[in-house]
Structures are given as structure tokens and as C-alpha cells.
Amino acid sequence: MHYDFKKQIRSFGYAWKGIRCVMGKEQNLSFHLIATLCAVTGGVFFSITRMEWIAVILCIGMVIGAELFNSAIERIVDLVSPQRHPLAGQIKDIAAGAVLICALTALIIGLIIFIPYLTRFLL
């Protein structure tokens, strides 16, 4: 089996092109990126533990990945159903709900990690 390194590099290029396609166009993704910046800044400021960093990074990846999936699903639905259709709306709502669940989970994990640091810092 022959491994095509150039083909693999092109695949990464297409993936980055997809990410750039969504950047700046999706308001929710912009919000998640701001939250990412806050979490990373807080992690550096409070010198969180390695395990806490792992949790924060997993949460960031989960939420941004979910947002990218949601954007892709929205575009597919718009492509196959350009006119309004109740099922198309439900599909978009379900995908958005998945992002919300991921974001709320990340928020809870973030609160579990950062509240003790904030409490010690403020008291």
C-alpha cells in the first residue's frame, strides 16, 4: 500500500478551507471563539493543572467541532430544501440543540474548574 503524503497535505488544506469558510460568518462560532480565549486566558492566569487543561481543551474541541457540524448541516439543508419546510426547520433545530448541549456541558465543566480559583483569588 502506497501512502500519498501530498494527498494527505491537500486533505488538511481542504479542512482548513472549511474552517475558514465558517470563520466570521457564523455569529455563534465567534461567540465560542471568544469563550475559548477567555478559558485559555483564565487557565494561564490561574495556572490550572494538566488534567484541568485536558478538560478545557476537550471542551473547546467539542463545542467548536459541534458548531462546525451544525454549520455543515445547515448548509446541506439549505441546499436540498431551499424553500421553507417544517422538516428542514426541525433538522436545523436539532443540530443547533446538539451545539447547545455541548456548550452547556462545557460551561458546567468550566465552572467546576474555575470557580475554586476565582473564589481563592477574590477572597
The set of residues, in sequence order, having a beta carbon less than 8 Å from that of 105 and lying 6+ positions away, is 59, 62
Spatial distance between the Cα atoms of 81 and 3, rounded to a whole number of angstroms: 39
Task: Assess contact for 33 and 63: CB atoms under 8 A.
Answer: no
Kindly list the catalytic residues: 67
Task: Assess contact for 105 and 56: CB atoms under 8 A.
Answer: no
Spatial distance between the Cα atoms of 29 and 25, rounded to a whole number of angstroms: 8
